[in-house]
Amino acid sequence: MDIGVSKKKLGLKERYSLMTRGLGWEPSYQAIDDVFPMDTFEGIKIHDWEAWEDPFRLTMDSYWKYQAEKDRKLYAIVDAFAQSNGHLTVSDARYINTVKLFVNGLAPIEYMSHRGFAHISRQFRGVGPRVACMMQSLDELRHAQTQIHAISNYNRYYSGMSEFRHHYDHLPYLQVPKSFFEDAASAGPFEFIIAISFAFEYVLTNLVFVPFISGAAYNGDMGAMTFGFSAQSDEARHMTLGLEVVRFVLEQDPANVPIVQKWLDKWTWRGVRLLTLVAMMQDYMLPKRVMSWAEAWEIYFEENCGALFRDLARYGITMPPCVEQVRKERDHLSHMAWCQFYQGRATNNFHTWLPSAEDMDWLSAKYPETFDRYYRPRFEYWAKLEAEGKPFEATGVPMQCQVCQIPMFFTEPGDPLTLAQRHRHYKDEQYHFCSDHCLTIFDDEPEKYIQAVLIGHELFKGNAFAPGTDPTAEGFDPAAAALAFWRIEHGRDNGAHVGSQDEGNFALWRGLASSNAETGNEGAER
């Protein structure tokens, strides 16, 4: 009779090897190039996939365990936040607009990131990167979910969040993050991973997360702060992956260097253009501010990334040339953006306001070279118009950059009173750009960007109306039809913060929560 001998428990190293590299196999009846048809066309040469060093020694079984533990902690806090009416403990009702920006602009790109990494985790023939990409794909899905869950607490009480998915697909300003990510996701797997893992997650990630998550902490938003911390250990892993990818690709073949450099140039610029939204949030939308965009740029780019690029110099990689222009725009970016969002407030799904005298003093202190000279006069004039009861609001459809899709509000570097424009003929058509760098990106792949869906043009084609709308009907109002299609309830979701339903409800509910006052419930309702 045999006596069952229990197998020796696997050692950590052995287990790790079996659960990662051990999951791959050599195909026997299909050519390897047919199994992995997408990892060569970009021109990146990989001679030895085994040289890939797994940036995080994590196997699927321990991954589930860690993430489940983090989720348990997170959801305990999210539930407590809901039960204790945590939304009333934030610094000021204006803060909620930051949350709106987050769920509309950032959570959907986390989801797109999940899809992108899922895609490339199928496309690399090396097992190591495939496993790493699969885990990142799951991380990104978890981030999107936890962000949506945490922010759903706000959605029960305030406007502008319930249609975040539809808004991401259609609302004008959200076409900027959407087109950014679709540009990456429609590239090959190497460009995607350099763009997202390195340029975005490594080079720029602190400029995204620190302002939002520290902003949440400073403004008493326990829910958002907690999902930020819950995501932090994942982000650390993602940054390690970004650095490993770039190192691996550069070491495999010298011919990879110029290709990688081109992608770094492109995605650093595209990333910074996207961060315009974050710069604006930091300087204008947080009632209690963390630091200015200019300060964040100095710490997280100039100091941290300066060292990084000095390190990459040994492969022949240089600092992307766009950084020169980013420096020149540093003290203008957030102001230009807020001017745009203020005057285009009818098509936003969050509220805007003019900076108070105190806000403006802070802005002049942080931006001594630019704020008083170029931007304070605008805000003071608009405040005067508001006081006179005739607030300024743009009525035109903005001209957009063909690449970044941002309205052409950027000024010439070094000439803050002249709007920048670049122009190109391609085949039978002409195109316009906000900058030399967006033009360079277009010139490199014009066939890609001539397909860009520019929301202003879609309006004129009649594509921003609900199916069945008859634009020839008598009394047809195109602006109202577009808002209906975008699912923006005019006067509730959009427009000024002062006098908004959100402002009224917040004051009313906070009053109820912090006093014994009986309320006649004057006008504030959901």
* Phi, psi torsion values for 416, nearest 5 degrees: -70, 0
Helices 222-252 and 60-83 cross at an angle (nearest 10°) of 150
Residue 388 engages other proteins in binding (rule: CB under 8 A):
no
Q: Which two tokens stand for residue 113?
A: 């990131």
Given the rule CB under 8 A, which of 135-143, 195-203, 244-252, 443-451 is the region that contacts other proteins? 443-451
For other proteins, which residue of 6, 30, 83, 395 counts as binding (CB under 8 A)?
Answer: 395
Least gap, CB of 149 to other proteins (angstroms): 35
> Which residue is listed with tokens 């595209």?
270
Residue 43 engages other proteins in binding (rule: CB under 8 A):
yes
For other proteins, which residue of 122, 166, 378, 487 counts as binding (CB under 8 A)?
Answer: 378
Asked if 184 contacts 251 with a C-beta cutoff of 8 angstroms, the reply is no
C-beta of 95 vs 269, nearer to other proteins: 269
C-beta of 461 vs 526, nearer to other proteins: 461
Least gap, CB of 380 to other proteins (angstroms): 9
d(CA 399, CA 431): 11
Least gap, CB of 235 to other proteins (angstroms): 30
Residue 152 engages other proteins in binding (rule: CB under 8 A):
no
Residue 30 engages other proteins in binding (rule: CB under 8 A):
no
d(CA 237, CA 142): 14
Residue 38 engages other proteins in binding (rule: CB under 8 A):
yes
**Burial annotation 300-327 (CB, 10 A radius, 16+ → b, else e):** bbeeebeebbeebeebebebbebbebbe
Asked if 102 contacts 164 with a C-beta cutoff of 8 angstroms, the reply is no
For other proteins, which residue of 10, 41, 80, 255 counts as binding (CB under 8 A)?
Answer: 41
Residue 447 engages other proteins in binding (rule: CB under 8 A):
yes
Alpha-carbon torsion, ordered 492, 496, 498, 499, to 10 deg: -30
d(CA 332, CA 420): 13
Name the residue among 112, 242, 251 with its Cα closest to residue 187: 112
Name the residue among 350, 458, 440 with its Cα closest to residue 404: 440
Asked if 457 contacts 482 with a C-beta cutoff of 8 angstroms, the reply is no
Residue 33 engages other proteins in binding (rule: CB under 8 A):
no
Asked if 360 contacts 370 with a C-beta cutoff of 8 angstroms, the reply is no
Number of chain positions touching other proteins (CB under 8 A): 54
Residue 394 engages other proteins in binding (rule: CB under 8 A):
yes
Given the rule CB under 8 A, which of 145-153, 211-219, 325-333, 438-446 is the region that contacts other proteins? 438-446
For other proteins, which residue of 28, 423, 468, 516 counts as binding (CB under 8 A)?
Answer: 423
Integer-rounded Cα radius of gyration of the chain: 25
Residue 430 engages other proteins in binding (rule: CB under 8 A):
yes
Residue 526 engages other proteins in binding (rule: CB under 8 A):
no
Residue 381 engages other proteins in binding (rule: CB under 8 A):
yes
C-beta of 71 vs 412, nearer to other proteins: 412
Residue 398 engages other proteins in binding (rule: CB under 8 A):
yes
Asked if 406 contacts 434 with a C-beta cutoff of 8 angstroms, the reply is yes
Alpha-carbon distances of 9 from 5, 19, 164, rounded to whole Å: 12, 14, 48
For other proteins, which residue of 340, 348, 349, 505 counts as binding (CB under 8 A)?
Answer: 340
For other proteins, which residue of 23, 58, 454, 496 counts as binding (CB under 8 A)?
Answer: 454
> Which residue is listed with tokens 């081109």?
262
For other proteins, which residue of 10, 32, 69, 460 counts as binding (CB under 8 A)?
Answer: 460
Using CB under 8 A, list all residues that contact other proteins.
37-38, 41-43, 188, 336, 339-340, 343-344, 374, 377-378, 381, 392, 394-400, 407-409, 411, 417-419, 421, 423, 426-432, 443-445, 447-448, 450-454, 456-457, 460-462
